[in-house]
């Protein structure tokens, strides 16, 4: 099951936004890294200590986040969701959002594009 939010035309984030509850495999990260990498460039590995907040913000590019370890409370203007290992978050450029790392902190990948993972679509 996934949560699918569609924005009204004219919103800063009027493209498709999804948090996928369907788990991607995070024990063997090699194949996941290959799927997240752009044709040319890099992805980021982010570690947040417990309580670390990335307050309301947006980005100029699409982003795909995959939680690898721990959990975050991810929030946007229409709700929030607790995201744990294997959760995929697809963010369109311009969408206001934020997150807080929960008790065990969190480690996650950030791809600075809309990654084509097998469960998208």
Q: Does position 60 have pLDDT exceeding 90, yes or no? A: yes
Under the banding of pLDDT at 50, 70 and 90, the label for residue 24 is confident
Q: Which of 20, 5, 2 lies closest to 79, judged by CA?
A: 5
Q: Does position 4 have pLDDT exceeding 50, yes or no? A: no
Highest mean pLDDT of the ranges 1-10, 14-23, 39-48: 39-48
Under the banding of pLDDT at 50, 70 and 90, the label for residue 115 is confident
State the greatest distance between any 2 C-alpha atoms of the chain, in Å, as a whole number.
Answer: 40
- Separation CA 81–CA 78 (nearest Å): 10
Residue extents of the structural domains in the chain: 2-9+16-111
More confident residue, 6 or 37: 37
Under the banding of pLDDT at 50, 70 and 90, the label for residue 117 is confident
Q: Does position 114 have pLDDT exceeding 90, yes or no? A: no
Q: What angle do CA 72, 74, 75 make, to 5 degrees?
A: 150
State which CATH number among 2.60.120.10, 3.40.50.2300, 3.40.50.1470, 3.20.20.70 fits the domain covering 2-9+16-111: 2.60.120.10
Facing residues of 75 across strands? Answer: 80, 98
Q: Does position 35 have pLDDT exceeding 70, yes or no? A: yes
Q: Does position 102 have pLDDT exceeding 70, yes or no? A: yes
Q: Does position 119 have pLDDT exceeding 60, yes or no? A: no
- What tokens were used for 116? 């084509």
34's CB contacts (< 8 A; 6+ apart) are none
In the chain, what is the straight-line distance between the N-terminal and C-terminal CA atoms, in Å? 13
Residue 11 pLDDT: 44
């Amino acid at each position: 099951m996934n949560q699918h939010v569609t924005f009204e035309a004219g919103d800063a984030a009027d493209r498709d936004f999804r948090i996928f509850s369907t788990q991607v495999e995070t024990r063997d990260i090699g194949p996941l890294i290959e799927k997240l990498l752009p044709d040319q460039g890099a992805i980021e590995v982010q570690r947040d200590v417990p309580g670390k907040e990335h307050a309301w913000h947006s980005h100029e590019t699409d982003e795909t986040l995959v939680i690898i370890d721990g959990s975050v409370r991810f929030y946007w203007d229409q709700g929030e969701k607790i995201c744990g290992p294997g959760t995929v978050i697809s963010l369109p450029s311009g969408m206001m959002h934020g997150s807080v790392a929960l008790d065990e902190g969190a480690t996650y990948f950030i791809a600075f594009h809309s990654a084509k993972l097998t469960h998208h679509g």
